[in-house]
């Protein structure tokens, strides 16, 4: 749906009509922290923030009431691992064949699709060769030029020469560029982080493992950076006021990441007992990204490739159950981009299917996600003073997590973007 159609069909909220307060009324409201479902539920919105939330709120003089009917009000969803600059298709080829201006236009459309699906905040884990173009998308969203979630941007990921994203398999004589920024030492990691910070990055994303192989039912995934190198990155991030997130599929890279104190370990398919202990102790969340593994298994080019992807998915599901039992903290990230934007609420369903309770997944998404993105106390709950990022879903998501895949209403910062 185009922006002009959205403007014509979505009733604008109170803020767009002179600043009058707005009361959202629904059959239910989810208190995420406690897990309680309030019946009925109401939220009073003034400007871009929530003034009050509960079973019933005061109605200030001149307030409008929007009755959303038989739905559950809850905070806007959070995706802690997205790629706005990717779309379905040959991932490596699109980063080589498509220009950065074209990919930026597609990224703007991806941001809109994610927002309309109920994701009001996201963390972009690498532009895959588009450099700092993501900051332009973020700034355009923040200025109101385009629709999209609140964004945390990393620019390019950071990778070794010959590493995970370094155009492996192409003719070396053509000198095909990496989709990441090269850093082969602690000093170079720091140098790249400073350059990315200058260009507007909110955090750093580092490839810590790759390539991955399943051998005799076990995952083998070489590490790329030592613990000391990751510690240097974390220390530089602290100086810059940033955090470091890592792509880390398995051991020993996941252990090095936990020892270094990164902000999150994304994919986290294989975690040793010691790694899980450290993650619990340091409150480092795993971001499983189930949906991308499922997508690759279901859309493989050949039956043999599908079997390999399915074996990895099955291994991941088994290891995830171990992580849940061990009490590893989680955030929710889908790795959307290689599969269609706006469909990533599937991630919450898969996390429930493979071992978590629906409420625990919602708390991982909303409370842990807000912390991971640096917006704790601002988003992730329907509480007075929080930003009015609100969605409505049918039914009760604590009983049926698939409700989050059928979002009926989206508000971001007090502005209705879908109804």
Q: Specify the pLDDT at position 5.
A: 36
- Looking at the fold, whether 211 and 306 belong to one and the same domain comes out as yes
Sequence-ordered strand ranges (E) for 277-330: 286-287
The strand pairing partners of 390, in sequence order, are 75, 411
- Looking at the fold, whether 292 and 251 belong to one and the same domain comes out as yes
**Residues sharing a CB contact under 8 Å with residue 174, sequence separation 6 or more, in sequence order:** none
Q: Specify the pLDDT at position 167.
A: 85
- Looking at the fold, whether 189 and 287 belong to one and the same domain comes out as yes
Q: How far apart are CA 59 and CA 381, in angstroms?
A: 21
Number of H helices, E strands in the chain: 13, 21
What percent of the chain has a predicted confidence (pLDDT) above 70? 96
Q: Specify the pLDDT at position 147.
A: 98
- Looking at the fold, whether 192 and 295 belong to one and the same domain comes out as yes
Weakly modelled stretches of the chain, pLDDT under 70: 1-18
Q: Specify the pLDDT at position 90.
A: 87
Q: How far apart are CA 191 and CA 206, in angstroms?
A: 13
**Residues sharing a CB contact under 8 Å with residue 43, sequence separation 6 or more, in sequence order:** 23, 24, 29, 50, 52, 53, 57, 73, 382, 388, 390
- Looking at the fold, whether 137 and 271 belong to one and the same domain comes out as yes
Q: How far apart are CA 345 and CA 404, in angstroms?
A: 6
- Looking at the fold, whether 62 and 81 belong to one and the same domain comes out as no
Paired tokens of 57: 């709120």
- Looking at the fold, whether 38 and 147 belong to one and the same domain comes out as no
Contact in structure between 163 and 180 (CB atoms under 8 Å): yes
**Residues sharing a CB contact under 8 Å with residue 346, sequence separation 6 or more, in sequence order:** 291, 294, 334, 405
- Looking at the fold, whether 172 and 315 belong to one and the same domain comes out as yes
Domain of residue 303, CATH code: 3.20.20.140
Residue 131, classed as helix, strand or coil, is coil
- Looking at the fold, whether 65 and 154 belong to one and the same domain comes out as no
Domain of residue 56, CATH code: 2.30.40.10
Into how many domains does the chain fold? 2
pLDDT tens digits along 62-83: 999 999 999 999 999 999 999 9
- Looking at the fold, whether 151 and 271 belong to one and the same domain comes out as yes
Helix locations, 39-119, DSSP H: 91-97, 100-116
- Looking at the fold, whether 18 and 85 belong to one and the same domain comes out as no
> Which residue range(s) make up the domain with 401?
3-76+380-418
Q: Specify the pLDDT at position 4.
A: 38
Residue 266 burial (CB count, 10 A): 26
pLDDT tens digits along 303-335: 999 999 999 999 999 999 999 999 999 999 999
Q: Specify the pLDDT at position 296.
A: 97
- Looking at the fold, whether 295 and 244 belong to one and the same domain comes out as yes
Q: Specify the pLDDT at position 307.
A: 96
Residue 289, classed as helix, strand or coil, is coil
CA distances from 142 to 134, 146, 151, 186 (A): 12, 8, 9, 33
Paired tokens of 154: 């990393």
Give the angle subtended at the CA of 82 by the CAs of 80 and 85, to the nearest 5°. 155
Strands 264-267 and 28-31: unpaired
Length of the chain: 419
What percent of the chain has a predicted confidence (pLDDT) above 90? 91
Q: How far apart are CA 415 and CA 19, in angstroms?
A: 11
């Amino acid at each position: 749906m185009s922006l002009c159609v959205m403007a014509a069909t979505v009733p604008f909220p109170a803020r767009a009509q002179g600043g009058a307060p707005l009361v959202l009324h629904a059959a239910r409201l989810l208190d995420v922290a406690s897990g309680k479902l309030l019946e009925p539920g109401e939220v009073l919105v003034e400007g871009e923030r929530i003034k009050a939330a509960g079973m019933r709120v005061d109605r200030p003089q001149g307030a409008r009431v929007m009755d959303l009917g038989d739905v559950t009000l809850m905070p806007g969803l959070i995706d802690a691992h997205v790629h706005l600059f990717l779309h379905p298709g040959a991932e490596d080829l699109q980063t080589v064949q498509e220009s950065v201006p074209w990919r930026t236009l597609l990224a703007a459309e991806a941001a809109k699709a994610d927002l309309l699906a109920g994701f009001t905040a996201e963390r972009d884990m690498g532009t895959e060769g588009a450099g700092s173009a993501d900051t332009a998308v973020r700034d355009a969203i923040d200025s109101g030029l385009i629709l999209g979630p609140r964004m945390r941007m990393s620019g390019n990921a950071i990778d070794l020469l010959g590493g995970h994203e370094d155009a492996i398999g192409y003719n070396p004589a053509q000198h095909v560029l990496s989709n990441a920024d090269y850093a082969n030492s602690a000093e170079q990691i720091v140098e790249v982080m400073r350059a990315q910070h200058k260009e507007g990055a909110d955090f750093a994303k580092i490839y810590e493992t790759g390539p991955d192989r399943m051998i005799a039912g076990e995952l083998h995934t070489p590490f790329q950076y030592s613990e000391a190198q990751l510690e240097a990155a974390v220390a530089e991030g602290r100086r810059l006021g940033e955090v470091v997130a890592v792509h880390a599929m398995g051991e020993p890279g996941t252990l090095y990441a936990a020892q270094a104190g990164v902000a999150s370990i994304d994919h986290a398919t294989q975690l040793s007992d010691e790694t899980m202990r450290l993650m619990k102790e340091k409150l480092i969340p795993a971001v499983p990204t189930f949906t991308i593994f499922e997508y690759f298994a279901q859309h493989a080019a050949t039956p043999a490739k599908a079997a390999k992807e399915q074996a990895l998915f099955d291994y991941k599901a088994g290891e995830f159950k171990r992580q849940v039992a061990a009490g590893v903290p989680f955030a929710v990230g889908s790795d959307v981009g290689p599969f269609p934007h706006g469909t990533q609420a599937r991630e919450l369903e898969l996390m429930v299917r493979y071992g978590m309770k629906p409420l625990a997944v919602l708390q991982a998404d909303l409370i842990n996600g807000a912390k991971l993105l640096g917006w704790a106390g601002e988003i992730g709950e329907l509480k007075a003073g929080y930003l009015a990022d609100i969605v409505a879903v049918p039914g009760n998501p604590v009983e049926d997590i698939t409700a989050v895949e059928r979002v009926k209403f989206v508000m971001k910062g007090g502005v209705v973007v879908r109804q």
